[in-house]
Structure 1
Amino acid sequence: MQRLAFILLLLTGLNTFAQQKKSRPNIILFLVDDMGIMDTSVPFCGEVMPLNKRYHTPNMERLAKQGMKFTNAYAQPVCTPTRTSLLTGMNTARTHITNWTSPNKNEPTDAKDEQFGPLNWNINGLSNTPQTENTVYATTFPQLLKNAGYYTIHVGKAHWGSMGTPGSNPYNLGFMVNIAGHSAGHPQSYLSEQRYGNLPGKAQAQAVPDLQEYYNTGTFLTEALTLEAKKAMETPIARKEPFYLNLAHYAVHVPLMADKRFVQRYYDAGLDSAEAKYASMIEGMDKSLGDIMNFLTTKGVAENTIIIFMSDNGGLDAHGRGGPVNTHNYPFRSGKGSVYEGGIREPMLVKWPGVTKPQSINTNPVIIDDFFPTILDWAGISNKKTIQKLDGLSLIPTLKNPAVKLTERPLVFHYPKKWTNEKEKDERLLGINYYSALRYGQWKLIYRMRSQELELYDLSKDISEKNNLAAANPAETKKLAGILGKTLKERGAQMPVASSTSKPVPFPDEVTIR
């Protein structure tokens, strides 16, 4: 009798485990490169704007109808800081990865500056070992997913570490499958006729690997990656295993190249060559999203698959685009490389079948750091043992009910670097080079390190950041400067060092309010 009871108990336990394993959701992060919040027909700022009418993204519209739209979602001003914060749950102020990493080991990417000397930051990115020089050592969420039985897939751009370091290889960061992910931050070419950059004698570090079967087939890079992602998902679906797919498109990063399937409509609409190419790449990216959604439905797993749509930084504005600056993300100010809203506010959509309410809108300020704990909560991983301290917050409560307000907390953007050479007046206009920023509730504080000036904006009334309230509201400015300074210090943030004095720039809570 005891033996029978033991067998029944064992079978019950195995059945419970099987049910838990079966019920764990698949998770797909659909990550776009350099896509601005206005580069879509989905309106993210309350009403349809002129730029929304330029772009054709019916599958983003479809995803927004099926799930939740976040209107205050943020990343960092450039790619590697965002991508490493995503994988580690650490804010860039803590990782010391505050600029994009070079494909080449130990090669800084900062532009030279007369006022400030070079900063000793983690120029080689992220590593899974503490011995790697100039890297942050951390536990990644794909590794934790893999440990918990998830089939982990990476397809597309990685850009987590430089060549010759562990972070350049997605297999070292928890992925079981890697297609086209390496140390470079953009493709050498999107065209199969150019072998995505792999022409003999012409290949550079940015040549996209692993796609030989598509050479000379007329397959645009975005399409090739989509086809590979679908192939990779076949294995866990056949095995009935939960999977995580990190589909990280190279689009819409430069070089701007026409996706011939879509570009003619934009020429016909009167766009210049650069903007027509850009819009065609947006539409090709959107087709990829639709193809992935259709695939999930065909395979019968759509209702057990969570989809997150996100971009890694704001859209290009000052560089490589057609038309005047400060227009490409309008009504948001500036673009990639900037701590103004155009450089950090992102198009974010989440479909959690049976949980997120269709066509719902979430106004909570959220940041890429939050993805780490949220994804692990989705996977049912309660024991989040990590080397690092997490800065992100799980979004599960507000995903279940957008009326739930997250705890008011500092969202920090830290760029103590020179991204690109610009004149002083253009730096001020665009909010690039040596800036930090804080989003706290309705307020946005900007700290300009060159002049140690503070700017204050009320984003509930001024999404274009035109009306600097710092002088008119010194009390709020001082309060937020205190929060930003305290948070930066707690996270061990690096500040640029003046060449003339060899002293670091004061933290924002240490400057005089003007």
Structure 2
Amino acid sequence: MRIPTHSDCRILLMHYRKGSLLLLVLCSLSLVLPQPLCADTTHPNMIFVLADDLGYGDLGCYGQTQIQTPRLDQMAREGMRFTQFYAGNTVCAPSRSVLMTGQHMGHTHVRGNAGGGDMTVQSLRDQDVTVAEVLKPVGYTNALVGKWGLGEVDSEGFVLKQGFDQFYGYLNQVHAHNYYPEFLWRGDQKELLGNVVEPVSKEAKYGGFVGGSATKRVDYSHDLFAKEAMQFIDSEKDNPFFLYLALTIPHANNEGSKMTGNGAEVPDYGIYQDRDWSDQDKGQAAMITRMDTDMGRIMDQLTALGIEKNTLVFFTSDNGPHDESRHHLETFNPSGPLRGIKRAMHEGGIRVPAIAWWPGTVPAGQTTEHIAYFGDWMATAAELAGVDAPENLDSISFVPTLKGNAAEQQAHDYLYWEFYEQGSRQAVRFGKWKAIREPMFSGSVELFDLDQDISEQENRADQHPEIVKQATAMMDEAHVPNPNWKIRGGK
């Protein structure tokens, strides 16, 4: 009889009933007998790394020539690069809601950034089921390091009420703008830092929070996140874990842009110090390269611990690139060949870089054109953990693609997005076609053939009225009204 591993016992003891003496004896033996370092190969570790406002063209392996990203480029060479992977939305909170719930924008609860309004509409609810909650019953330790944005400490959406065992970082999105904050959250407690922050105004917004810029800069939050992530990996190396590493790089400190003229906050400009660029451009590049270095440190750590072959690392971005640091988009062309940036429903706002690294499982040096999006992480994580995902989701596992079995990969009928800012807009992607309706529900429809026109320059709606009709029907089907999210004169 096989002696249970530590992780087996964590699962079995949750289901222990009186009289299971053999189980208790075996689990006791497992605590004293030597355990192989990667004993639990049926429950691979998962590290989902989410950059913030990183564009499709911001990495060398996606065509970037000015910003150096050698470790992420290495990750792509040793793993799989997705060329048609999409964020959950074109801005932060709803994109993360899609990621956590496996529901697209017509179904997920959080469909926009709340702004100065009621923050509960930007919070997950008790009834919302997250990826972490699906993994927890089969023995995963779940940690979020970085930015949450889906519920304050006293709300139903608070991260430790949504399946995560550990949390270190920001809860509030405006708080997360500042790379030198006065505090970060460790669990439900504030951990004070050495920074001193001047608020941008006296008016409290965004859940009572006022953004600002540091006048005394000591502790750089990104560096703290990298350290925390590596400490978590080391502490959980013998047990299955899910690490959601939600970085804030390269998001701007929007308040810093207003107060100092430079929202690209970074301790130093590094290799870009002597470039003939603006300080904002130097900062933007230095932030991305700093993140790249830390991604390399994490891959090196996994290898040194001997758990790289039992760990999937998936790297992507929450939406397209921003222009909020007062840097120059033309310096780096962050959307690459795509049209638009953050807040657009064109490809540049929602198509994002995505790299999967899992030595021995994900084929090295592969590029996939499989069309997937954030909502698919739910089904993917569940399949890897050997558990069922919740029913009635908008989620298809891309495990076959990860394992090089493209013939077994299921596809979506369509992907769907909706956006409530700037007058509102919707988008749907099906096969080679992409349709955008602006404003939502009642506006005219643009139609693009992405196989022939990745830059979305030629509107083919007039040429294909039958395809427009099909796209409109998909948008109408996908949208389920939510009383928290309405547009003027719309549903």
Q: TM-score, normalised by structure 1?
A: 0.76
Matches within 5 A, 1:237-256: 237=237, 240-255=238-253, 256=263
Query: Does the CA-based 8 Å contact 1:31-1:311 persist in structure 2?
Result: yes
Kindly state the Cα deviation for residue 253 of structure 1 after the two structures are TM-superposed. 0.9
Note if 1:64 corresponds to 2:76.
yes
Instruction: Report the Cα distance in structure 1 between the residues aligned to 2:486 and 2:211, rounded to whole angstroms.
Output: 33
Note if 1:464 corresponds to 2:460.
no
* Equivalent position SS for 1:486: helix
Instruction: Report the Cα distance in structure 2 between the residues aligned to 1:282 and 1:21, rounded to whole angstroms.
Output: 34
Instruction: Report the Cα distance in structure 2 between the residues aligned to 1:196 and 1:441, rounded to whole angstroms.
Output: 49
Query: Does the CA-based 8 Å contact 1:437-1:444 persist in structure 2?
Result: yes
Aligned position for 2:490: 504
Q: What's the CA shift string for 1:413-455, capped at 9, x where partnerless?
A: 111x225xxxxxxxxxxxxx41100110111011112761010
Q: 2:57 aligns with which of 22, 33, 38?
A: 38
> Aligned AA for 2:77?
K
Unaligned runs of 5+ in 1: 1-5, 108-121, 129-136, 209-214, 420-432, 506-514
Q: What's the CA shift string for 1:397-420, capped at 9, x where partnerless?
A: 2222263353241100111x225x
Aligned position for 1:229: 229
Instruction: Report the Cα distance in structure 2 between the residues aligned to 1:494 and 1:326, rounded to whole angstroms.
Output: 37
Query: Does the CA-based 8 Å contact 1:197-1:206 persist in structure 2?
Result: no
* Equivalent position SS for 1:436: strand
Q: After alignment, is 137-146 or 61-70 more displaced?
A: 137-146
Instruction: Report the Cα distance in structure 1 between the residues aligned to 2:74 and 2:333, rounded to whole angstroms.
Output: 27
Aligned position for 2:410: 406
Q: 2:161 aligns with which of 164, 167, 172?
A: 172
Aligned position for 1:278: 284
> Aligned AA for 1:279?
A
Q: After alignment, is 285-294 or 158-167 more displaced?
A: 158-167
Q: After alignment, is 189-198 or 305-314 more displaced?
A: 189-198
Q: 2:315 aligns with which of 309, 316, 321?
A: 309
Aligned position for 1:488: 479
Query: Does the CA-based 8 Å contact 1:154-1:181 persist in structure 2?
Result: no
* Equivalent position SS for 1:393: coil
Query: Does the CA-based 8 Å contact 1:186-1:253 persist in structure 2?
Result: no
Instruction: Report the Cα distance in structure 2 between the residues aligned to 1:493 and 1:463, rounded to whole angstroms.
Output: 35
Note if 1:86 corresponds to 2:99.
yes
Q: TM-score, normalised by structure 2?
A: 0.80
Kindly state the Cα deviation for residue 192 of structure 1 after the two structures are TM-superposed. 7.8
Instruction: Report the Cα distance in structure 2 between the residues aligned to 1:61 and 1:164, rounded to whole angstroms.
Output: 41
Q: 1:395 aligns with which of 374, 393, 398?
A: 398
> Aligned AA for 2:398?
L
Instruction: Report the Cα distance in structure 1 between the residues aligned to 2:280 and 2:429, rounded to whole angstroms.
Output: 33
Query: Does the CA-based 8 Å contact 2:57-2:333 persist in structure 1?
Result: no
Kindly state the Cα deviation for residue 149 of structure 1 after the two structures are TM-superposed. 0.7
Query: Does the CA-based 8 Å contact 1:438-1:446 persist in structure 2?
Result: yes
Query: Does the CA-based 8 Å contact 2:309-2:361 persist in structure 1?
Result: no
Matches within 5 A, 1:193-232: 199=196, 205=209, 220-232=220-232
Cα distance change, pair 300–467 in 1 and its aligned pair in 2 (3 A): same
Instruction: Report the Cα distance in structure 1 between the residues aligned to 2:483 and 2:439, rounded to whole angstroms.
Output: 13
Note if 1:159 corresponds to 2:149.
yes
> Aligned AA for 1:397?
P
Kindly state the Cα deviation for residue 249 of structure 1 after the two structures are TM-superposed. 0.6
Instruction: Report the Cα distance in structure 2 between the residues aligned to 1:252 and 1:236, rounded to whole angstroms.
Output: 28
Cα distance change, pair 228–486 in 1 and its aligned pair in 2 (3 A): same
Q: 2:354 aligns with which of 343, 348, 353?
A: 348
Aligned position for 2:266: 259
Instruction: Report the Cα distance in structure 1 between the residues aligned to 2:181 and 2:412, rounded to whole angstroms.
Output: 48
Kindly state the Cα deviation for residue 346 of structure 1 after the two structures are TM-superposed. 0.5
Query: Does the CA-based 8 Å contact 1:154-1:247 persist in structure 2?
Result: yes
Q: After alignment, is 199-208 or 73-82 more displaced?
A: 199-208
> Aligned AA for 2:132?
P
Aligned position for 1:373: 379
Q: What's the CA shift string for 1:182-232, capped at 9, x where partnerless?
A: 133553532489987952775983779xxxxxx989553222210111112
In the comparison of the two structures, how many residue pairs are matched? 435
Query: Does the CA-based 8 Å contact 1:186-1:250 persist in structure 2?
Result: no
Q: What's the CA shift string for 1:133-176, capped at 9, x where partnerless?
A: xxxx3111102212211111110101012453121x32111111
Aligned position for 1:430: none
Kindly state the Cα deviation for residue 318 of structure 1 after the two structures are TM-superposed. 7.3
Aligned position for 2:188: none
Q: What's the CA shift string for 1:352-376, capped at 9, x where partnerless?
A: 3322110111101111000011011
Kindly state the Cα deviation for residue 320 of structure 1 after the two structures are TM-superposed. 3.8
Matches within 5 A, 1:410-421: 410-415=414-419, 417-419=420-422
Instruction: Report the Cα distance in structure 2 between the residues aligned to 1:350 and 1:60, rounded to whole angstroms.
Output: 10
Cα distance change, pair 7–406 in 1 and its aligned pair in 2 (3 A): closer
* Equivalent position SS for 2:107: helix
* Equivalent position SS for 1:283: helix
Q: After alignment, is 469-478 or 326-335 more displaced?
A: 326-335
Q: What's the CA shift string for 1:264-297, capped at 9, x where partnerless?
A: 5335332222222111111111111111111111
Cα distance change, pair 486–494 in 1 and its aligned pair in 2 (3 A): farther
* Equivalent position SS for 2:445: strand
Instruction: Report the Cα distance in structure 1 between the residues aligned to 2:174 and 2:405, rounded to whole angstroms.
Output: 34
Kindly state the Cα deviation for residue 389 of structure 1 after the two structures are TM-superposed. 2.9
> Aligned AA for 1:146?
K
> Aligned AA for 1:244?
F
> Matched residues, percent identical?
28
Kindly state the Cα deviation for residue 345 of structure 1 after the two structures are TM-superposed. 0.4
Cα distance change, pair 106–449 in 1 and its aligned pair in 2 (3 A): same
Query: Does the CA-based 8 Å contact 1:495-1:504 persist in structure 2?
Result: no
Instruction: Report the Cα distance in structure 1 between the residues aligned to 2:354 and 2:198, rounded to whole angstroms.
Output: 40
